Amino acid sequence: MSPDDLLRALVQPGRARIPYLDRYSPDRPLVLECFRPQGHNPDKPVVIVQHGMSRNGAEYCEAWVPAAERHGLLIVAITFSKEAWPDAVTYNNGHVLAEDGSLRPRECWSQAIPGRVFALLREAGMTRRDKTYLWGHSAGGQFVHRLLATQPHGIFEAVGAANSGWYTLPTLDLPYPDGLGGIGLTREDVVRLLGYPLVIFSGGQDIDGTAENFPRHEAAMAQGPNRFTRAQFYIARGQTEAAKLGVPCRWSRVVVPGVAHEGMRMSAFAADYWFGGAGG
């Protein structure tokens, strides 16, 4: 897609569903589910939103529409279809490893795609900002926190991961995706990750460990019996690793009272947290 194509697709305010092919994954199409309010201009914030395992980017985009209209935000929900991105390896885990477990070229990791989408938005003139917000829920929360571990941070205004099923731990002592070992990362990458002000959003009632899609493999179960406790475990592990390395851990956790594994309610909370004054 050229910048001119993207500009044409977004020139009219409202919802837009834009087919998108990443140049490093030409056989795996994506869709950009976008909303641009009347009040948007290129100096207003951009929010990239990552859906969960239902691959319902349109629904997540819609959940951010009220905040977009209030604050002039451009919403871009990058949608990884089940057909083209069929499993946790290709989506949640960032397509870092091939089916045989070998390491794929870094530019081919799906975690690099949001950065290229944001670059295209800048080339198209849809934003003059040099940073974007990034937020993901459930499988999208997995995708987002792993993206933060492996990608440059310069383009991110703020990053939030909500209700992730399990976490890649910030240590090189465990192989990816249990930890960050074996994929070319260094101690400096781990320090950079720990030093980024990542926000972990947790639904206060996201405590069901019996759901069909709840990760139950050994590494996940070691993090706790439900998503709420696993978020606690991840923050604590970040603090422990930072102490070992003698560096700060700037992560924080925000508990959303009364909300379970509900992506639309978590979206509304995150929007208010970032743009409604709750987080400021």
- In the chain, DSSP assigns E strands to 14-20, 30-36, 46-50, 74-80, 132-137, 156-162, 199-203, 252-256
User: CA-to-CA distance for 217 and 266, rounded, in angstroms?
Assistant: 25
Token pair, residue 18, equals 């834009």
For the chain, state the CA radius of gyration: 18
Closest CA to 11 of 22, 19, 1, 3: 3
Superfamily of structural domain 3-275: Alpha/Beta hydrolase fold, catalytic domain (3.40.50.1820)
User: CA-to-CA distance for 100 and 91, rounded, in angstroms?
Assistant: 16
Q: Looking at residue 277, what is its pLDDT?
A: 66
Give the number of C-alpha atoms closer than 13 A to the C-alpha of residue 91, restricted to the C-beta side: 26
20 C-beta neighbours (distance < 10 Å), count: 19
* Beta carbons of 39 and 133 less than 8 angstroms apart: no
Token pair, residue 274, equals 């970032």
Q: Looking at residue 238, what is its pLDDT?
A: 98
Name residues whose C-beta falls within 8 Å of residue 258's C-beta, 6 or more positions apart in sequence. 204, 205
Q: What is the mean pLDDT of each run of 10 residues along the chain (280 residues)?
A: 92 96 97 97 98 97 97 98 96 96 97 98 97 98 98 97 98 98 98 98 96 93 98 98 98 97 97 77
Task: Write down the residue that tokens 């493999």 correspond to.
Answer: 217
* Beta carbons of 275 and 67 less than 8 angstroms apart: yes
Q: Looking at residue 279, what is its pLDDT?
A: 45
Q: What is the DSSP letter of 44?
A: S
Cα distances from 203 to residues 92, 121, 226, 239, 276, in angstroms, run: 19, 32, 11, 21, 19
* Strands of 252-256's sheet in order across: 14-20, 30-36, 74-80, 46-50, 132-137, 156-162, 199-203, 252-256
Q: What is the DSSP letter of 175?
A: B
Q: What is the DSSP letter of 232?
A: H
